[in-house]
Structures are given as C-alpha cells and as structure tokens.
Structure 1
Amino acid sequence: MKLYHFPLSGHAHRARLFLSLLNVPHEIVDVDLKAGEHLTPEFLAMNPFGQVPVLEDDGVFIADSNAILVYLAKKTGRSEWLPEDALGAAQVQRWLSVAAGDLAFGPAAARLITVFGRPFNPEEVITRAHLVLTRIENHLKDREWLVGDRPTIADIAQYSYIIGAPEGNVNLSGYPAVNGLLRRIEALPGFVAFPQTAAGLRSIA
C-alpha cells in the first residue's frame, strides 16, 4: 500500500496512524502542496478533489481520511476497530461524522488560521472548538473510549485535530476526559505522533 500524505495534515495523519496501529506494510509518499503537486493531472486522476490523503492499494485508490479508516478496517478484517453489529457500526459512523463536521469546522479550522494563514474568524471557530470538545468531554466522563470498551476508528478519527488544537489557540487544559483519551491512544502499540509546529499555545495538559 501507498499513502499519499502531507505531514502537517491531520486528515493525512489519522490515515498514517491507523496504518501503523494495524501494522500494515506501507509506503509514505509526501505530496508537496505548496508546489501544487495535489493539482497535477497525475494526482487528480487518483483524487479529483485534489486533497490528501489518498491510499493506493493494488491499483485501487481510496480518497478521504475517514473512508480510508473504514477501508483499512474492512480490508484487514479487523472488526474490533469497526464493529460488525448494526448499533456498533452506527455509533462509529456518528463519530466519523463528528470528525468530518464539528471537529473539522472547530479545532481543525482554528489550527488552519495559525499554521496555514486561512482567513477564518478566530473567535467563531475557537468557540465552535470548545463546544465540540465539551460534548466529547461529557460523553467520555463514564467511559474510556468513544464506542464500546476498546479503541475503534471513531477514536482515531478524532485524535489528530484534537491533539493539534492548541496550535490554533484552543486550550485543552479544561478537558481531563478528552486528555485521557489522547493519552490512551498514544499508548497503543504502533502509535505515530502528529508533528507539532511552533504555532498556538502548545499547552496540552
């Protein structure tokens, strides 16, 4: 397998992290976004949206980080990461939607301002970030993982942009249960850290 990747992308990191947790042999191909490599005809043939990450598996191309998580869990037969039962699968999907929605438009958007200079309204996206973090905190108060009693791709989908939230000036110190989830993910065999930048608070509790 090959993962077309950009080191500072949380979306790319969640795919790389899951590949490593699964211990799946793979090659990392870094895409130079600044040079526009994601807009070349060759890359657009793999993903017409021009976005990383893209997973290549024996001539098949899977775009979208959450789709890659699902693909890898199914391809490797690791149902502990993606439950087969209807309720478990639905609960995981709910959190994948949170990662693609509330998380992307909150903590991830706040980080895009400081790291990449995106023209979002800081007050708006930071407020949104604390709202979703509060909801996750409340959900985790009586559990260790988002779904069931073990890690799933629901947890992996949240990790990168939560751990990177302080780079967008979103302070995590008031969320002990969320920080507990981050530490448990970091303790998993095969964990790969999300590269840090000098931006933001860098104040993970």
Structure 2
Amino acid sequence: MTATRPAQPIKVYSSSVSGHSHRVRLFLSLLGLPFETIEVDLRAGAQRTPEFLRRNTFGQVPVIEDGEVTLPDSNAILVYLNERYAPDPARWMPRDPLGAARVQRWLSVAAGQLASGPSVARVIVMFGLHREPAEAIARSHDLLRVMESELAGRPFLAGPQSTLADIANYSYVAHAPEGNVSLDAYPQLRAWLARIEALPGFVPMAPQRIGLAA
C-alpha cells in the first residue's frame, strides 16, 4: 500500500513545553511527514485568544491544520494521521478487535491517569504553581507501577511492537522526573522508553527549565 502525502506541510499549533504537543510531532516524524510547527505561547495566554479558540474551542494545544482539515486533541490527531498517511495503518493501530481495544485502553490512560498524574506533577513544578504536588506524584507512581508490571511481559504497552499506545504515553513518562517523579524504581519502564527512542525518526522533547511562570 502506498500512503498519500500532504499537499503541503501540516501546520502544528503546539507548545514546546507540552507533552501532548510532542506526541503529535513525534508521530509526524516517525511517519516522515512534512510539518510546520507554530509555537503557541501558553504563558502569554495565546491559547485563549479568539483566533486560537476558532481552532479549538477548549483552548488547548495541539491543533493541526492539514489543508481544509482543522483538528484538535492529540490522541484524535494521532488516529487521523495514522488513518490518512501511514503506509500501513495496522502497524500503529491493529485491525483485529482485541488488538484495537488494547491500543484504545492506553489512549484512555494517556487522557486519564497520565494526564492527572505525571502531567500535572510536571506542570506544578515547571510553572511554579502554588499547589501541593503530593497527590499528583502519588497518582503518578500508581500508574508507573502498573506500567512496570505490564511491561515485564511484553516490550510495548499493547503488544510486541510499538503502536499509538506507546506514542500517546511516551512524552509525559519520559519527562516525569521534571515533576519530581523518579523513574529509578522502574527498570522495565526505562527499557520501554529506550525502545521508543530507538525507533527510526524518533525526535525528543527538549528538557524544560522549571519556574516558567509565577
């Protein structure tokens, strides 16, 4: 199967500090698709301007513009890119019912436990929020212990090869230490991160300095 290519680079409205944004840039790079990154200054509130809200009424990054298609939500974007541009869409989202369900389970984790655990813990530190981080750190370790246990039996979250499940969960796990969530106790998890980082086309999310905003 020969995948189509975008007629022009896909525009990605994103933030360099956002793991949600990074998962989209990562998948675009893994697919070898041309894209243009437009930085949205979250500190300045650019995501709440009328112009941006026309792209995403929730006022969140990332958003892509692919020709006439404007699409928000990182997980939705991963699914769209896979179905429209991946040479073998089943490579990243299995077509059998159980395989697809296993991937969907981890997409739900990325929007749930990952977002309320490692992501929140990191935001508290990075943006210097006056908020107690203990609960988010505890939720993070609850999640990481489950991931560690499941990765003991397979190399990737949903099976023997990387899928959208891994792309959706990678960024905030890899950068969990920026939220004072140590990965030292999770050797299987660290090995999983290394396997993702070895994928052809992998691009990292740059480490971020803390205290980005008062």
Structure 1 residues without counterparts, runs of 5 or longer? 201-205
Q: C-alpha offsets along residues 6-26 of structure 1, whole Å, 9 cap, x if unaligned?
A: 000000001111100110111
1:106-145 → structure 2 map (5 Å cutoff) = 106-145=117-156
Normalised by the length of structure 1, the TM-score is: 0.94
RMSD, matched Cα: 1.3
Q: Aligned residue for 2:201? A: 190
Structure 2 residues without counterparts, runs of 5 or longer? 1-9
Aligned partner letter, 1:32: D
Aligned partner letter, 2:198: A
Normalised by the length of structure 2, the TM-score is: 0.90
1:60-75 → structure 2 map (5 Å cutoff) = 60-75=69-84
Q: Aligned residue for 1:29? A: 38
Q: Aligned residue for 1:171? A: 182
Aligned pairs, number? 200
Tell me how far apart the structure 2 counterparts of residues 100 and 119 of structure 1 sit (CA, whole Å). Answer: 24
Q: Aligned residue for 1:203? A: none
Match among 16, 30, 54 for residue 63 of structure 2:
54
Please state how far the C-alpha of 1:118 moved relative to its aligned partner. 3.3
Aligned partner letter, 1:79: A
Local SS of the residue matching 2:64: strand
- Alignment check: 8 A CA contact 2:171 2:205 kept: yes
Tell me how far apart the structure 1 counterparts of residues 16 and 98 of structure 2 sit (CA, whole Å). Answer: 34
Tell me how far apart the structure 1 counterparts of residues 55 and 97 of structure 2 sit (CA, whole Å). Answer: 31
Aligned partner letter, 2:122: R
- Alignment check: 8 A CA contact 2:127 2:210 kept: no
Q: Aligned residue for 1:92? A: 103
Match among 14, 18, 23 for residue 9 of structure 1:
18
Tell me how far apart the structure 1 counterparts of residues 96 and 23 of structure 2 sit (CA, whole Å). Answer: 24
- Answer with 191-200 or 136-145: which moved more: 191-200
- Alignment check: 8 A CA contact 1:81 1:151 kept: yes
4+ residue runs over 3 A deviation: none
Tell me how far apart the structure 2 counterparts of residues 120 and 66 of structure 1 sit (CA, whole Å). Answer: 28
- Alignment check: 8 A CA contact 2:137 2:181 kept: yes
